[in-house]
Amino acid sequence: WTPWTLYTRSMYGRYTQELGVYAKEEAARLREEAAFRRLVTERSRSLDLLEYDKSRCAKCRICTVHCQKFLISRVGEDWIFLILLGLVMALVSWVMDFCIALCLQAQKWMYGGLDSNVVLQYLAWVTYPVVLISFSAGFTHIVAPQAAGSGIPEMKTILRGVVLKEYLTLKTFVAKVIGLTCALGSGMPLGKEGPFVHIASLCAALLSKFMSLFGGIYENESRNIEMLAAACAVGVGCCFAAPIGGVLFSIEVTSTFFAVRNYWRGFFAATFSAFIFRVLAVWNRDEETITALFKTRFRLDFPFDLQELPAFAVIGIASGFGGALFVYLNRLIVQFIRKQKAINKFLMKKRLLYPALVTLLISTLTFPPGFGQFMAGQLTQKESLVTLLDNRTWAKQGIAEEFEYIGHAAAWKHPQANVFITLVIFIVMKFWMSALATTIPVPCGAFMPVFVIGAAFGRLVGESMAAWFPEGIHSDGVVYSIVPGGYAVVGAAALSGAVTHTVSTAVIVFELTGQISHILPIMIAVILANAVAQSLQPSIYDSIIRIKKLPYLPELGWGHHEKYNIRVEDIMVRDVRYITLNCTYRDLHDVLLTERLKTLALVESSESMILLGSIERAQLQALLSQQLGRPRRLEYLRQRAQNERKQVSIVSTPSSEEGNHKANHEVRFQISTEESTFSPSRSVSPKPLKPALKRHSVVERGTEIPSSQDSGIALKSLFCAHPEAAAVEIAEWEELQLDEQVNFNNCKIDPAPFQLVERTSLHKTHTIFSLLGLDHAYVTSIGRLIGVVSLRELRKAIEGSVTVKGVKVRPPLASFRDSGTSSSDAEVTELHKLWNRHTNLTLPQDHQPSDSDEKSQ
């Protein structure tokens, strides 16, 4: 449990399937608890009712309850839930914005107050963000390391049906909210959109839990997924006051298939949330009425000329390349830090050093009297955006002097450099700064920084156009001058669309600016940017998913018609491991050793191969442990003892040597649950642990377990006294037990696992996998099991086909996937060791670290 461990996990952590299993079990436990709690509260409520029945206001109370019931039955619990969600998120968003604004004002005030001394000024300018970011990183790390980063990749995974542990807890909520406020308050180029999606989901999950106290349907799994999908929309919606764009953006980044039902929910909640968010601003006298966040005032009658479209297209294409570059750069930085062992070790020790160093570097470069004067360093992100979307042209006639500087826009003017140079420096510097800043392990997103860079790039093109055509392009006599602000809007939408691989940024831009007059240029630029970016790199969220090794399914490429011709039979694994209805425990045992899939197929017999269902690995392990486990073993020993009428002293202190033996036997009969506990110390060590160490750890656990099984303690010593003889006998007994036929009566069998046919196309398989969130499907032919396809095969088939024919130069993140350290040792079960013992340790089973792909399924 080194500090670096958690740091790594929070930013580049891996989630294996075992985590999923554990989380599911925990979820089941939580559900049971919640059900119990509800029962209790319901009972207490009915008691309350009875009590009040006798009092005077009984009628009143009953009436209230009836009203409540009526309201719920009419309006529906979902609606109430969505309204509450919207309200809470709007409040959170507004309060957070308020705090962030305060933080930024404080920095400005400090900086302004010390203008007599540049050194002091510099110290104030630099220390403030370093302290805030360090606090944010430290706080996040201590309270909930899961809160670091954007949150959208994780939400995408969760909405795919994977349960990520600790991702939707109150702790994470607190860490995310406070961490994000501090991070944004520091003035670093970080965004709030991604984290807001996560915060809204957290909010929805917590609200569900809270409302389940009042009874209802708040525990249903399908419903939770639906509510989380709505929450994602709310997150974006209340962050930008952009309900429509929010819904669309959340659909695009989190879903592959989307239920129109959820879309409705999302619309409702996001609108309500955006409304409250903006109403709060009005009530706070910040605004006169509800308007857009970054209102623009471009002319309506002639927004742009048709002949300006090539310029917009150029913005789109350039943004596409820029977006891909950003994703690549971001990944490169992560990769670099991971690879440099020396840096890595050093940073491991001082976890807060990396955030502090990055912050120091960035704030030094933006120091306004220093280099910052060439890149409008004193402007906050919001101020930059407002000035960039400004209605006026900065470089009339190409000469900066003619421009009247009002308010913050003055920052763009430099006595020595003209506006073009300032803009270019701003774009280049902010570009790598944003890519670097988003790797800091604090809650932060990349959307807003990218948006601002895009706006600056658009502004640059717009100003150039304005300088080139000072009288406008239109030839019909009327002079319609070029509006560089419009170009900025186009650039912002295009670059953010390219980085996130979405087209809904166009809608977000309309809602942010309150103007839709540039719809066609924006749509064209966004589509071009997407086309370019999608063919070069994955989206920033997919990139993070792959870095974090979350389970994913790649999208089918565009226009690669091989995908229609590849059939399941071409990609399926034909050598399926299965268990038969009449198999023995030995077969079960062997299958469990050789097969690592989460679920196993159950067939009628190895001749008929008729698929009857699938059984989870854990269930089989439970069966095996039941057969060979402590109670039965003790039973056997007791009987043997009775048979041989041996007298054994009840009290005997096991020696260290005996303890070891005992441990070995423990190992032998205990089906470990180790693979479902996520122990960070194991996931990091690249080599399997030494057997001795392992044995030791097992001894530790071995000594813990008996406390819950006191009845066995006495008898256990029975064979400890004669360890060698007992071991032989036990082995014999075991052999007998293993030859018995398995009794599946108490085993949970999924009787309808998903089945495909050999001729199912890759395209359809992909559709079904993503529709239903499968991770494997059996291939059957007239009831006979003939193969299995898992996410892994599918992924290989898709990425293979894309690499061969498509425009992708290399499989995205191929280098990452190779360099991924294996965490397979966590999977080495005690059963495996048992097997090793059976082969008398002469043939040490070479347990190869399985492909890391397999793990991330």
CA 576, CA 570: separation in Å to the nearest integer? 15
Question: CB of 267: closest distance to a copy of itself in angstroms?
Answer: 5
Residue whose CB is less far from a copy of itself, 43 or 784: 784
CA 649, CA 658: separation in Å to the nearest integer? 16
CA 794, CA 275: separation in Å to the nearest integer? 43
Residue whose CB is less far from a copy of itself, 271 or 363: 271
Residues 213 to 232 in contact with a copy of itself, rule: CB under 8 A: 216-217, 220, 222-223
Q: Show the tokens assigned to 251.
A: 């659909």
Residue with tokens 């993140």: 813
Q: Residue 682 CA to chain centroid, in angstroms?
A: 22
74 lies in the binding site for a copy of itself (CB under 8 A): yes
CA 842, CA 830: separation in Å to the nearest integer? 18
Residue whose CB is less far from a copy of itself, 190 or 269: 269
Determine which residue in the list 750, 809, 850, 851 makes contact with a copy of itself, applying CB under 8 A.
Answer: 750
Residue whose CB is less far from a copy of itself, 71 or 106: 71
CA 442, CA 184: separation in Å to the nearest integer? 10
Residues 145 to 204 in contact with a copy of itself, rule: CB under 8 A: none
CA 38, CA 218: separation in Å to the nearest integer? 11
Q: Which stretch binds a copy of itself (CB under 8 A): 9-17, 503-511, 673-681, 696-704?
A: 503-511
Determine which residue in the list 187, 243, 320, 377 makes contact with a copy of itself, applying CB under 8 A.
Answer: 243
Closest CA to 492 of 735, 266, 273, 319: 319
Question: CB of 483: closest distance to a copy of itself in angstroms?
Answer: 12
Closest CA to 791 of 808, 811, 810, 776: 776
Q: Which stretch binds a copy of itself (CB under 8 A): 409-417, 643-651, 779-787, 813-821?
A: 779-787
Residues 177/442, Cβ–Cβ less than 8 Å? no
Q: Under DSSP, is residue 599 helix (H, G, I), strand (E, B) or coil?
A: strand
Residue whose CB is less far from a copy of itself, 190 or 483: 483
Q: Which stretch binds a copy of itself (CB under 8 A): 404-412, 436-444, 520-528, 662-670?
A: 520-528
257 lies in the binding site for a copy of itself (CB under 8 A): yes
Q: Which stretch binds a copy of itself (CB under 8 A): 262-270, 463-471, 823-831, 849-857?
A: 262-270
Question: CB of 717: closest distance to a copy of itself in angstroms?
Answer: 43
Question: CB of 838: closest distance to a copy of itself in angstroms?
Answer: 31
Name the burial class of residue 644, with classes exposed (0-12), middle (13-18) and buried (19+) by CB atoms within 10 angstroms of its CB: exposed
CA 128, CA 142: separation in Å to the nearest integer? 21
Closest CA to 798 of 839, 853, 718, 728: 853
CA 458, CA 426: separation in Å to the nearest integer? 12
Q: What angle do CA 126, 239, 154 make, to 5 degrees?
A: 85
Residue whose CB is less far from a copy of itself, 32 or 115: 32
Q: Which stretch binds a copy of itself (CB under 8 A): 45-53, 177-185, 504-512, 584-592?
A: 504-512
Task: Determine the length of the chain.
Answer: 857
605 lies in the binding site for a copy of itself (CB under 8 A): no
CA 441, CA 743: separation in Å to the nearest integer? 50
Residues 353 to 392 in contact with a copy of itself, rule: CB under 8 A: none
First and final C-alpha spacing in the chain: 25
- Helix residue spans in 705-722 (DSSP H): 710-720
Determine which residue in the list 29, 59, 261, 638 makes contact with a copy of itself, applying CB under 8 A.
Answer: 261
764 lies in the binding site for a copy of itself (CB under 8 A): yes
Q: Show the tokens assigned to 775.
A: 């991770």
Q: Which stretch binds a copy of itself (CB under 8 A): 32-40, 139-147, 199-207, 781-789?
A: 781-789
604 lies in the binding site for a copy of itself (CB under 8 A): yes
Which residues partner with 761 through β-bridges? 567
CA 231, CA 268: separation in Å to the nearest integer? 11
CA 444, CA 439: separation in Å to the nearest integer? 9
Q: Under DSSP, is residue 169 helix (H, G, I), strand (E, B) or coil?
A: coil
Q: Show the tokens assigned to 186.
A: 């520091």
763 lies in the binding site for a copy of itself (CB under 8 A): yes
Residues 283 to 312 in contact with a copy of itself, rule: CB under 8 A: 288-292, 295, 297, 300-306
Q: Which stretch binds a copy of itself (CB under 8 A): 724-732, 734-742, 764-772, 813-821?
A: 764-772
Which residues partner with 615 through β-bridges? 600, 749
Closest CA to 419 of 453, 394, 396, 397: 394
Residues 607 to 626 in contact with a copy of itself, rule: CB under 8 A: 610-613
Determine which residue in the list 21, 489, 494, 503 makes contact with a copy of itself, applying CB under 8 A.
Answer: 503
Determine which residue in the list 259, 332, 713, 809 makes contact with a copy of itself, applying CB under 8 A.
Answer: 259
Question: CB of 853: closest distance to a copy of itself in angstroms?
Answer: 23
Determine which residue in the list 188, 244, 550, 826 makes contact with a copy of itself, applying CB under 8 A.
Answer: 244
Q: Strand runs (DSSP E) across 559-642, as ranges?
A: 578-580, 599-603, 611-616
CA 495, CA 501: separation in Å to the nearest integer? 10
Residues 467 to 496 in contact with a copy of itself, rule: CB under 8 A: 474, 476
75 lies in the binding site for a copy of itself (CB under 8 A): yes
Residue whose CB is less far from a copy of itself, 112 or 783: 783
Residue whose CB is less far from a copy of itself, 248 or 334: 248
Residues 506/537, Cβ–Cβ less than 8 Å? no
76 lies in the binding site for a copy of itself (CB under 8 A): yes
Residue whose CB is less far from a copy of itself, 306 or 843: 306
Residue whose CB is less far from a copy of itself, 220 or 606: 220
Interface with a copy of itself (CB under 8 A), residue total 100
CA 11, CA 488: separation in Å to the nearest integer? 32
Question: CB of 513: closest distance to a copy of itself in angstroms?
Answer: 8
What is the β-pairing status of strands 599-603 and 755-756? unpaired
73 lies in the binding site for a copy of itself (CB under 8 A): yes
Q: Under DSSP, is residue 594 helix (H, G, I), strand (E, B) or coil?
A: helix
Determine which residue in the list 16, 17, 201, 515 makes contact with a copy of itself, applying CB under 8 A.
Answer: 515
Residue whose CB is less far from a copy of itself, 673 or 755: 755
Question: CB of 207: closest distance to a copy of itself in angstroms?
Answer: 15
Question: CB of 317: closest distance to a copy of itself in angstroms?
Answer: 14
Question: CB of 216: closest distance to a copy of itself in angstroms?
Answer: 7
Residues 530/320, Cβ–Cβ less than 8 Å? yes
Residues 685 to 744 in contact with a copy of itself, rule: CB under 8 A: none
State residue 377 phi and psi, 5-degree precision.
Answer: -65, -25
Question: CB of 84: closest distance to a copy of itself in angstroms?
Answer: 14
Residues 305 to 344 in contact with a copy of itself, rule: CB under 8 A: 305-306
Q: Under DSSP, is residue 613 helix (H, G, I), strand (E, B) or coil?
A: strand
Determine which residue in the list 26, 166, 555, 825 makes contact with a copy of itself, applying CB under 8 A.
Answer: 555
Residue whose CB is less far from a copy of itself, 335 or 761: 761
Residue whose CB is less far from a copy of itself, 262 or 664: 262
751 lies in the binding site for a copy of itself (CB under 8 A): yes
Angle between helices 170-185 and 118-143 (to 10 degrees): 170
